Amino acid sequence: MIVYNSELEFELFNTDLVSDWLIDVIVNEGFSDGEINYVFCSDEYLLQKNIEFLNHDTLTDIISFDYTMGKLISGDIFISVERVKENSKDFNVSFNNELCRVMVHGILHYCGYKDKSEEEKSVMRERENFYLAKLDSQI
């Protein structure tokens, strides 16, 4: 089950479509969906989480806490709406496109994808693009 929460004035577009898409990603990767909680928040809120839990005093667009057990995907994914807006401008893409990229990025981490090395980043980006294309075909 995917749940969406917000720490600020924000509402996700077409939650049913996005949820179905994310569940399709999970299934396509060979997993099943457990409890996945998205929390949309401000830069300040996410910065505090970054400092408190990761000892990083930097802004970020996403922090995920992975509770996956075996093939059952579960976790909390915190997304800074402000960072996503800024990144969408920097990358010259729509806000919704960048938001979905970040959302699927968190899921892909839960499926075992990493992004520390350049090679890992390349694989992660390819999977993000693959799944974003699937979503685009549904919109």
Phi and psi angles of residue 48, each rounded to the nearest 5 degrees, phi first: -65, -40
Structure tokens, 32? 């099943």
Cβ burial of 60 (10 Å; 0-12, 13-18, 19+) is middle
Is 56 annotated as contributing to ligand binding?
no
Is 57 annotated as contributing to ligand binding?
no
Residue matched to tokens 């396509």: 28
Strand order in the sheet with 2-6: 2-6, 32-41, 72-80, 62-66
- Which residues, 6 or more positions from 69, have their beta carbon under 8 angstroms from its beta carbon? 34
Tell me the residue ranges of DSSP E strands in the chain.
2-6, 32-41, 62-66, 72-80
Is 105 annotated as contributing to ligand binding?
yes
Residue set of the binding site for Zn(2+): 105, 109, 115
Per the annotation, binding residues are: 105, 109, 115
